[in-house]
Amino acid sequence: MAAEVRARAFWQTRIASARSWAATTIPPILALGNSYTSSMNLDLAVAAAKQNYADARPNSAAWARRAAEVLPGGNTRSVLAFEPFPFRVERAEGKYLWDVDGHQYVDFLGNYTAGLLGHSPEPVEKAVRAVLDSGWSLGSVHRDEVQLAELLTDRFPSIEQVRFTNSGTEANLMALALATHTTGRSKVVVFQHGYHGGVLAFGETANPVNVPHHWLVLPYNDETAVVEAFRAHGADIACVLVEPMQGSAGCIPGTPEFLSLLRNQCSSSGSLLIFDEVMTSRFSLGGAQEVLEIAPDLTTLGKYLAGGFSFGAFGGSRKIMGTFDPKRSGGPVASLAHAGTFNNNVISMAAGVATLREMVNPAVLDRTNKLGESLRKDLNEIFLQAGVGMCATGQGSLMNIHGTAGPVRSAADLAGGDDRLKELLFFALLDHGFYIARRGFIALSFEITAADVANLLTSIKEWSTAHRAPV
């Protein structure tokens, strides 16, 4: 009780201070009209946008105060945090979200790609409800895990056998363990700004929660750096772990030449190539690897493949995956164990079977990816015509808006971008009833229509015109 009183008093003081600031500051901002050219004016505009956002969401603010008392930073998933506080969702259906203050949003974020099917898709909901009637904490094997494995091996030719995990992070951790074990080598090539899970993130500085592999961190899309790394360390490189398109870094596609070089270098040196397709498997029925016509040795999966429930998987050839066969004994490579109470949990397995049998097919993937390609093209045209220093990168149904005019080949090209432009756009779109990530990330779901995209583009065009650079 005392903690609640302290929290209430703290936030009341902050709100009073913010309102006092707004009363004296917002009128001068409004007087600026459409001219946001100076750094100070941008700062004032962002502050005003945050204040307007907060004033319209008192219930979310109250929940933020409660959350801050028991959750560090008020959340348990860092990517969801933004200032002044995130709106709190009350319910979701189809393509819509509703928050506790009664605002409705068209969801263009798709839970950072896990929500490809939209919210509460009927085939998945039906499958999960049915399986719950038979019990859900079995401590045993069951039919759906076999059926889901068959569906995945049919979909990805490079995967002959697969094992399940609870997330893409776990899938990548197990793939790395498998690669280092089977090759007997220690070095792992990854790429700057790559993200393969909470303990496998490679930003500007070392991530203190990363697992302690012997990392070789190279620039993304830099073919020369790859050749030099293999020349110097090839005999010790166990594997290369790469996203065919870097997602968290800003939806930056790997060039076909770069990714083909990785395949050739791994083949020549006896290293394994691991494609992290947790995000990119939506690019076609066979994932990015099918589009690129590059077969990795191991593939990691996750996100939407269980219809929005917790899921991960990794797979490859029988020879490599056979390392997990407990009947294997002796030989040059001993067997490995792979534990996990919820690896084959009945909810994710049933949801995955329903997803792949009833919802994911070439036609719907093609429609959604084409809609994304069109959206990204139109976004870049709008920014160019308005003279706004922004651009969008990505592939298919995934993209990211950046505070720079580009071009963007790697995350290093984003260093001079203005994050305040993205923040202003983020709050403006919320006002118009559209939800994208604060960082500019967009992931289309099957529920998003051409009309939804047209409405989003209208709002962004209006915003871009209002923030047109002076001639």
Q: Are 434 and 60 in contact (CB under 8 A)?
A: no
Domain total for the chain? Answer: 3
Considering the domain architecture, whether residues 235 and 288 belong to the same structural domain is answered as: yes
Considering the domain architecture, whether residues 297 and 272 belong to the same structural domain is answered as: yes
Q: Would you state the pLDDT for residue 330? A: 59
Which CB contacts under 8 angstroms, 24+ apart, belong to 62-65? 63/88, 63/100, 64/88, 65/7, 65/8, 65/10, 65/11
The CA distance from 314 to 303, in Å, is: 13
pLDDT above 80 for 10:
no
Residues 6 or more apart from 101 whose CB is under 8 A from it? Answer: 56, 57, 58, 59, 60, 87
Count Cα atoms within 13 angstroms, Cβ side, for 293.
1
Q: Which of 331, 359, 387 is the last residue of a domain?
A: 359
Q: Around Cβ 95, how many Cβ atoms within 10 Å?
A: 20
Considering the domain architecture, whether residues 310 and 423 belong to the same structural domain is answered as: no
Q: Which of 303, 325, 359 is the last residue of a domain?
A: 359
Considering the domain architecture, whether residues 199 and 298 belong to the same structural domain is answered as: yes
Considering the domain architecture, whether residues 411 and 309 belong to the same structural domain is answered as: no
The mean pLDDT of the chain is 92
The CA distance from 153 to 159, in Å, is: 5
Domain that holds residue 222: 122-359
For the chain, report the end-to-end CA distance as a whole number of angstroms.
58
Considering the domain architecture, whether residues 138 and 282 belong to the same structural domain is answered as: yes
CATH number at residue 443: 3.90.1150.10
Tell me the per-residue pLDDT of 254-276, one tens digit each, with 9 for 90 and over: 999 999 999 999 999 999 999 99
- 59 or 11, greater pLDDT: 59
Nearest Cα residue to 399 out of 361, 430, 441, 339: 441
Tell me the per-residue pLDDT of 86-97, one tens digit each, with 9 for 90 and over: 999 999 999 999
pLDDT above 80 for 468:
no
Q: Give the residue-averaged pLDDT of 322-332.
A: 81
Considering the domain architecture, whether residues 388 and 470 belong to the same structural domain is answered as: yes
Give me the torsion for CA of 342, 346, 347, 348, rounded to 10°: 60
Choose, from 36, 303, 413, 435, the residue flagged as catalytic: 303
- 417 or 288, greater pLDDT: 288
Q: Give the residue-averaged pLDDT of 116-131.
A: 97
Choose, from 276, 297, 413, 452, the residue flagged as catalytic: 276
Mean pLDDT is lowest, of 21-35, 220-234, 269-283, for 21-35
Q: Which of 343, 359, 375 is the last residue of a domain?
A: 359
Q: Around Cβ 207, how many Cβ atoms within 10 Å?
A: 13
Q: Would you state the pLDDT for residue 144? A: 98
Considering the domain architecture, whether residues 242 and 219 belong to the same structural domain is answered as: yes
Choose, from 195, 220, 304, 435, the residue flagged as catalytic: 195
Considering the domain architecture, whether residues 154 and 243 belong to the same structural domain is answered as: yes
Considering the domain architecture, whether residues 126 and 225 belong to the same structural domain is answered as: yes
pLDDT tier, 19 (very low <50, low <70, confident <90, very high otherwise)? very low
Nearest Cα residue to 148 out of 350, 8, 358, 333: 350
Considering the domain architecture, whether residues 397 and 336 belong to the same structural domain is answered as: no
Phi, psi of 402 (to 5 degrees): -120, 155
User: Could you confirm whether 303 is annotated as catalytic?
Assistant: yes
pLDDT above 90 for 301:
yes
| pLDDT over 90, % of the chain | 86
User: Could you confirm whether 195 is annotated as catalytic?
Assistant: yes
Q: Would you state the pLDDT for residue 329? A: 66
Q: Give the residue-averaged pLDDT of 292-306.
A: 97
Burial environment of residue 125 by CB neighbours within 10 A (0 to 12, 13 to 18, 19 or more): middle
Q: Are 262 and 276 in contact (CB under 8 A)?
A: no
Tell me the per-residue pLDDT of 335-351, one tens digit each, with 9 for 90 and over: 899 999 999 999 999 99
Tell me the per-residue pLDDT of 231-257, one tens digit each, with 9 for 90 and over: 999 999 999 999 999 999 999 999 999
Tell me the per-residue pLDDT of 394-452, one tens digit each, with 9 for 90 and over: 999 999 999 999 999 999 999 888 999 999 999 999 999 999 999 999 999 999 999 99
Nearest Cα residue to 279 out of 116, 79, 391, 97: 116
Considering the domain architecture, whether residues 64 and 102 belong to the same structural domain is answered as: no
Tell me the per-residue pLDDT of 32-62, one tens digit each, with 9 for 90 and over: 444 444 666 889 999 999 999 999 999 999 9
User: Could you confirm whether 222 is annotated as catalytic?
Assistant: no
| pLDDT over 70, % of the chain | 90
Q: Would you state the pLDDT for residue 37? A: 46
Angle (CA) 48-103-56 rounded to 5° is 30
